[in-house]
């Protein structure tokens, strides 16, 4: 699936949300997260992010590999709601994201 990395943190441009045909991009306090089980790998989100924060997981630069685990673990408690609009409120950020210094990554 596709993965959102550090560039989204404290930016949350949300252009990606508009593009996603299955509404699988969920908002957290400091970052957005792509649901790995709901993403259909269409690739529409990747080019629209002004931060270039989105990667196909098979093409993720080594330095951002932790974000595959982040993107999976952040949904552990809520499972698969079947679309971000079906859920109220924002996700609690993954500890890895919560611990990042403030400002655009």
Binding region for ligand F3S (CB under 6 A): 2, 4, 8, 11-16, 19-20, 22, 24-25, 32, 34, 39-45, 49, 51, 53-54
Shortest Cβ 61–ligand F3S spacing (Å): 15
Cβ proximity to ligand F3S, 15 vs 69, nearer residue: 15
How far CA 92 is from CA of 41, 45, 65, 76, in Å, comes to 24, 22, 20, 11
Shortest Cβ 45–ligand F3S spacing (Å): 3
Shortest Cβ 87–ligand F3S spacing (Å): 15
How far CA 49 is from CA of 22, 87, 102, in Å, comes to 17, 23, 19
Cβ proximity to ligand F3S, 51 vs 67, nearer residue: 51
35: number of CA atoms within 13 Å, CB side?
26
């Amino acid at each position: 699936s596709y993965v959102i990395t550090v560039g989204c943190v404290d930016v949350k441009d949300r252009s990606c949300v508009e593009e996603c045909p299955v509404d699988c991009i969920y908002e957290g306090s400091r970052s957005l997260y792509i649901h790995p089980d709901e993403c259909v790998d269409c690739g529409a989100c990747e080019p629209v992010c002004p931060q270039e924060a989105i990667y196909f997981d098979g093409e993720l630069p080594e330095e951002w590999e932790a974000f595959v685990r982040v993107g999976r673990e952040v949904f552990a408690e809520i499972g698969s709601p079947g679309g971000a609009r079906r859920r109220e409120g924002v996700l609690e950020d993954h500890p890895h994201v919560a611990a990042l210094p403030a400002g655009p990554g």
